Chains A and B, each alone.
Chain A
Amino acid sequence: MSFKKILYITCLIVVILEIVFLKLMHLGHGYFEFEELPAFGALVGFWGTLFIIIVAKSLSKVVTKREDYYD
């Protein structure tokens, strides 16, 4: 089994666990209303990382220079 397949299956299991334990069995309690979204952790992980990558890549258009820039 390839590494990517393991990753996809892990993601799926985590989403199922989040929905089962938090949404169906109500084992957790969030601080905010938006935490009540199904699989909140997975959403933060996905969109948060996407946000970081997009910001970093657009920033690098301005700040990334050749290594001898300061010499």
Chain B
Amino acid sequence: MTDFIHPGIVLILGAFLLPALPKNFRGPYSVLLATVGFFFTLVAEQGTYGYMSLFGVEISPLVRVDKLSLIFAYIFSFIGLIGIIYCYHIDDWIQQLAGLLYTGASVGVSFAADILSFYLFWEMLSFCAVLLIWSQRTKEATEAGYRYILVHIVGGLSLFAGVMIYIYQTGNLQFDSFMNYSGELFWWLTLIGFVLCAAVPPLHAWLPDAYPSATIYGSVFLNPFTTKAAVYALIRGFPGAEVLIYLGSVMAVYGVIYALLENNLRRLLSYHIVSQVGYMVAGVGLGVITLGLNGSASHAFNHILYKCLLFMSAGAVIYATGKEKMTELGDFGRYAPITALSFFVGAFSIAGFPLTNGFIGKSPIISAAGELKNAFAYIMLNVATCGTIISIICKMGYYTFFSSRKSDYQVRQTPLNMRIAMLITSSLCILIGIFPQFFYYFLPYPMNYEPYTAQHILDTLGIFSFTGLVFAIFLKILKPKPYLNLDIDWFYRVGAKYSIKSLNKTVAPAEYEFINKIWRWLIDGVIIPVSGRITAYEDRKMNTLPAFLSSLAKTISDGLACFHTGKVQDYAFYMLSFIGLVLLLYLLF
């Protein structure tokens, strides 16, 4: 193990030292630890490590480092570092601890070679996420955290069942492609476990429910890890599963439709995660050619960068003003140029404008849909791009940073470390967009792909300009409104309420009216009289025997007492008469 140090283990073990440190050292220490974790990821060599046997079962190897796991590990450990820089100034070690653990667990997921250690790291993700949600310490956050953990327990159990059946049926502990077993029960169970974490509708409602409830630092950590770890798992386990093409395409459009309706900044961004992960899921489905898988990996990598950038700038807006609804913001660009700049870099990246990393990230997926002649995916993914442009650049950008000021908010200066984190990420978004071939070198499969073709650039420009045109036409209709939009979580939120109500109407009366009465009759009519009888019986029977014995003993001892005179001659007389009695008996018989 000397030639490879697992960065995930370093991060997880190192994080537990954090609470023991004095308050002033926690920020610098967590930045140092995240840097060390990122360094160990960078120096990791490809290969397999950690051969061991447990209880006579050969588990080998535990750690696998290949190009696919490396690209995810790079971005997970890097964004962990960015997130830690972003929350450098806060005085809340739980969030820093959870952030470091979350980073470590995601790196662990991407490096896990056997399916059991993969599952352990996978479950750790949900645990860290809930810590970050509960750190907000409000009633909504607590409730959202409970809903999050309940949904993820369902997904985790489905995955666990799938994994156990897989091991039982194949005897194989390696985490490799499941596509040879397509259609079997464990194939479906594992797929459901993965797509739940990838937030594929209708199993997505936990995401826009939980992420906006976390702290602003928490949502920076939340958005890259769980969903993208699921994308990694899908690329590894289900490359080319056709159902994913349609799920992903629908999901990409579904996310932007809801995003367009949203008023809350972070809820809008959360729906964009659903939409963007849709591209990646579709890319995995298109993975019968490696272009699709490469596209998923490259889109996941770039998505993490610009999505974190967007969440960081939304967090900066919330930090500065204390407001997170577009109906209460407006004209914010005037007060925070760096936040506005970072937001628009992120927004143009997510929409895929040329010269940003979003453009070069998702092009391979759309091209893969073209090469496979899948017109449905091709059209849906392009339409989702329109929706992304209109909801993020136009709606969120315009109504937050421009338009007229809608409430009288105070503006607080954002800390330097937050601005540094945003600027580093923005510059990376642009750099990767300018030098795509350098980035493509790190993708899991070799490919010869040029994103900057005349057709592609002009189509993108057309989509951008005409989406802007439609926005200008419908400016009034698209004005944000202070309302809530119901989603699939309605079924379990309202469903839970009604099931409690219906239990109140059915089970509670039955319990009170029926079971309670029988019970009362049983106690009053049977148990108490019977126990009264038993007591009386005890009094009569049980107590008489000891009383008789004691009075007998007293009588005997009273009788004996008259012999105990205390005089020596009396005792001598008793002895002699006893000896005489013995002799007499001897002579007689």
Contacts and interface: CB of A to CB of B under 8 A. Distances in A.
B484 A66 contact: yes
A53 to B, nearest CB: 6
Contact of B463 (A7, A28, A30, A44): A44
Contacts of B469: 7-8, 11, 45-46
A15 B462 contact: yes
B483 A41 contact: no
B120 to A, nearest CB: 34
B464 interface: yes
Contact of A22 (B256, B458, B470, B471): B458
Interface stretch (B129-137, B413-421, B474-482, B513-521): B474-482
Interface string A35-53: 1000111111110111111
A28 B455 contact: yes
- Secondary structure class of chain B's binding surface, majority of residues: helix
Given A32-B375, A42-B465, A52-B383, A65 B483 contact: yes
Interface stretch (B68-76, B180-188, B210-218, B485-493): B485-493
Contacts of B367: 31
Contacts of A4: 472
Interface in B366-420: 367, 369-371, 373, 375, 378-379, 382-383, 385-387, 389-390
Nearest to B402: A3
Contact of A17 (B379, B461, B494): B461
B370 A69 contact: no
Interface residues of A, number: 46
B1 interface: no
Given A52-B256, A69-B486, A31 B463 contact: no
B571 interface: no
B35 interface: no
B512 interface: no
B371 A31 contact: yes
Given A7-B469, A66-B484, A45 B257 contact: no
B297 interface: no
B462 A18 contact: yes
A49 B465 CA distance: 11
A29 B454 CA distance: 9
B201 interface: no
B470 A59 contact: no
B260 A56 contact: yes
A1 interface: no
Contacts of A64: 261, 481, 483-486
Contact of B466 (A17, A21, A46): A46
B465 A31 contact: no
A53 B484 contact: no
A53 B467 CA distance: 11
28 contacts: A8-B469, A10-B468, A11-B465, A11-B466, A11-B468, A14-B461, A18-B458, A22-B458, A27-B454, A31-B371, A39-B462, A44-B462, A45-B386, A45-B464, A45-B465, A45-B466, A49-B389, A52-B257, A53-B470, A53-B474, A56-B260, A56-B261, A60-B261, A62-B486, A63-B485, A63-B486, A64-B484, A69-B484
Interface of B: 253, 256-258, 260-261, 367, 369-371, 373, 375, 378-379, 382-383, 385-387, 389-390, 453-456, 458-472, 474, 477-478, 481-487, 493-494
Given A45-B467, A63-B486, 6 more contacts: A40-B459, A42-B463, A42-B465, A46-B470, A48-B387, A64-B483
